[in-house]
């Protein structure tokens, strides 16, 4: 009865899998197609050219067109200090069309918001300007252009 007993510490041999006498047929691997790759369709972006107008230059009276283009170009290149400076200069020149007087009087005659004008004058003295400061200066410049257009200034003389 002890003849099939294993000695302590001996490991029983692992059973060997049964192998057939012939070659094992190979199964063709199933080709798994990769999921379709979804790529967004490219959106055509118009290249800026000399014929495209920005919003400020579209509103600018003829005499102020170059100032508006300079301010927009500075904004687009990220030069916010130059943008604010160009807008401030353009606004001073545009308000001069309202006649003699101080900047505040000229702004009042054109119904330009005085608080906006004061804020813009404060921005012109700062050294480090942000994108929203430059955007605000463009807004005030466009406001002045709209007011000039509303009263028919500058006159075509």
**Smallest Cα–Cα separation from 61: which of 24, 96, 102?**
96
**Selection from 64, 69, 78 nearest residue 134 by Cα:** 78
Tell me the three state secondary structure of residue 111: coil
* 10-residue averages of pLDDT along the chain (157 residues): 60 57 64 65 59 87 93 96 96 93 92 94 92 97 95 78
Q: What size, in residues, is the chain?
A: 157
Rounded distance, CA 94 to CA 115, Å?
A: 18
pTM: 0.66
**Can you give the pLDDT at residue 52?**
76
CB 104 within 8 A of CB 117: yes
């Amino acid at each position: 009865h002890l003849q099939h007993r294993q000695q302590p510490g001996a490991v029983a041999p692992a059973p060997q899998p049964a192998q057939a006498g012939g070659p094992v047929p190979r199964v063709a691997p199933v080709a798994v197609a990769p999921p379709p790759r979804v790529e967004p369709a490219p959106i055509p972006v118009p290249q800026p050219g000399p014929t495209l107008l920005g919003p400020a230059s579209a509103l600018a009276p003829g005499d102020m067109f170059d100032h508006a283009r300079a301010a927009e170009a500075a904004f687009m290149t990220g030069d916010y200090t130059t943008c604010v400076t160009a807008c401030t200069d353009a606004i001073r020149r545009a308000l001069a069309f309202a006649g003699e007087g101080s900047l505040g009087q000229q702004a009042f005659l054109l119904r330009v918001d005085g608080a906006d004008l004061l804020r813009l004058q404060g921005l012109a003295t700062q050294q480090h300007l942000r994108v929203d400061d430059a955007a605000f200066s463009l807004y005030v410049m466009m406001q002045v252009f709209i007011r000039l257009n509303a009263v028919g200034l500058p006159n075509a003389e």
